[in-house]
Chain A
Amino acid sequence: MTGTSASGVEEKELLDRLRRGDADAFESLVRETTPRLLAVTRRLLRSEEDAQDAVQEAFLSAFRSLERFQGDALLSTWLHRIAVNAALMRLRSRRRKPEESLEDLLPRFLEDGHHEKTPAPWRENLDVALESRELRAQIREAIDGLPDAYRNILMLRDIEELDTAEVAEILGISAGAVKTRLHRARMALRTQLDPTMRAEAS
């Protein structure tokens, strides 16, 4: 099982052992935490090689700063954040696409304030539909199709579940900018999904 079930005492013991340089403690931490961290970096990077490299970087950077870890968050939460950071560093250096505008994916309105294209309801029971691999691939593709700046915020806020302040700190932008970009990213995701999710399309 993972660290979520560890009591505060176990957590403190583990931390003490790590700080003493106990090799077994490092090994069990790495074995227990790697699957979840790898899930995070795979989601963000979409490349197995990069995802594994980012996990390795995350652990090494965590080990270097063990002394500075205050214990005000769980070790697993702290590692999660470091892994997100490591993945973002790689994304930045990769520059998948030039900075693009999101405008085409935002809803358009007429001068009287009405939608230019009348929104239509989506299918019922999308929860059942979600079990289809194909639909999930479509959603994944829609998220990946967003410009990086928006995709990353959507991933960090809605999927990695970091809060606004954490995302602002990691990306070096204001909390207001995080909120604005998140909403725009969600609106764009809605636009991307709309053709396949419409009730009349099914």
Chain B
Amino acid sequence: MVDFLMAYLEGELPESERASFEVHLQICPPCVVYLETYQEAVRLGKSLCRDDSDALPDDVPEGLVEAILAARSRSA
């Protein structure tokens, strides 16, 4: 079933199987809920880390910048 759901979500199910699964979805709220909460989990993960990165730009550790530039001139 896990592989079947994956194929459905990837749009890789054969047409006839996709159609009959969609008929099933009409009469099976738990399956619909599962797919909805799956998409929601994906969305939560994605939005979380965008927030993290928004908070960053003013935060440049001077020591790190200098270490990188010093290492470059040593190796140049």
Which A residues have a C-beta under 8 Å from some C-beta of B? Answer: 2, 21, 23, 26-27, 30-31, 34-36, 38-39, 42-43, 52, 55-56, 59-60, 63-64, 106-107, 109, 113-115, 118-122, 126-127, 130, 136, 139-140, 143, 154-155, 158-159, 179-180, 183-184, 186-187, 189-190, 193-194, 197
Partner of B40, one of A34, A113, A180, A197: A197
B43 to A, closest residue via Cβ: A126
B58 to A, closest residue via Cβ: A35
* Residues on the B chain within 8 Å of A107, using CB: 1-2, 5, 34
- With A36-B56, A184-B6 given, name 8 new contacts (CB 8 A): A23-B73, A36-B53, A38-B56, A39-B56, A42-B52, A60-B72, A64-B75, A120-B33
* Residues on the A chain within 8 Å of B76, using CB: 21
* Residues on the A chain within 8 Å of B60, using CB: 31, 34-35, 38
* Residues on the A chain within 8 Å of B56, using CB: 35-36, 38-39
* Residues on the A chain within 8 Å of B36, using CB: 121-122
B54 to A, closest residue via Cβ: A39
A140–B51 alpha-carbon span in the complex (Å): 12
Interface of B is mostly: helix
- B37/A121 in contact, CB under 8 A: yes
Q: List 6 A-B contacts (CB under 8 A).
A: A36-B56, A55-B64, A59-B68, A107-B2, A115-B30, A179-B10
Known: A34-B60, A34-B65, A106-B2. A119 touches B72 (CB 8 A): no
B49 to A, closest residue via Cβ: A159
Q: Interface residues of B, CB < 8 Å — how many?
A: 41
B36 to A, closest residue via Cβ: A121
Within 8 A of A (CB), among B6-53: 6, 9-10, 30-31, 33-34, 36-38, 40-42, 44-49, 51-53
- A122/B37 in contact, CB under 8 A: yes
- A52/B41 in contact, CB under 8 A: no
Known: A31-B60, A189-B41, A190-B41. A159 touches B46 (CB 8 A): yes
